[in-house]
Amino acid sequence: MVPKKRNSRRTAKHEYRYYLVKAEEFLRTMRVAIAEDDWNAAGLMAVHCVISANDAIVTYFGGVRSASKDHADAIKQLIDVVSMKSTKTNATHLARVIAKKNTIEYESRLFSKPEALTAAAHAEKFLKWAISILPVD
Query: Do residues 77 and 66 lie in contact, with contact meaning Cβ atoms separated by under 8 Å?
Result: yes
Give the pLDDT confidence of 108-131 residue by residue, as tens digits. 999 999 999 999 999 999 999 999
pLDDT of residue 8: 72
Give the pLDDT confidence of 25-48 residue by residue, as tens digits. 999 999 999 999 999 999 999 999
Q: Which fold has domain 11-133?
A: Four Helix Bundle (Hemerythrin (Met), subunit A) (1.20.120)
Q: How confident is the model at residue 136 (pLDDT cuts 50, 70, 90)?
A: confident
Closest CA to 121 of 92, 88, 101: 92
What does the radius of gyration of the chain's CA atoms come to, in whole angstroms? 14
State how far the Cα of 81 lies from the Cα of 42, in Å rounded to an integer.
29
pLDDT of residue 6: 56
Query: Which amino acid, residue 124?
Result: E
E-assigned strand segments in the chain? 8-10, 64-66
Q: Beta-carbon neighbour count of residue 114 at 10 Å?
A: 9
Q: How confident is the model at residue 3 (pLDDT cuts 50, 70, 90)?
A: very low
State how far the Cα of 16 lies from the Cα of 14, in Å rounded to an integer.
5
Asked whether residue 55 carries a pLDDT value surpassing 50, the answer given is yes
Query: Which amino acid, residue 55?
Result: D
Asked whether residue 137 carries a pLDDT value surpassing 80, the answer given is no
State how far the Cα of 11 lies from the Cα of 51, in Å rounded to an integer.
15
The domain segmentation of the chain, as residue ranges, is 11-133
pLDDT of residue 66: 81
Give the pLDDT confidence of 66-112 residue by residue, as tens digits. 877 888 888 999 999 998 999 999 999 999 999 999 999 999 999 99
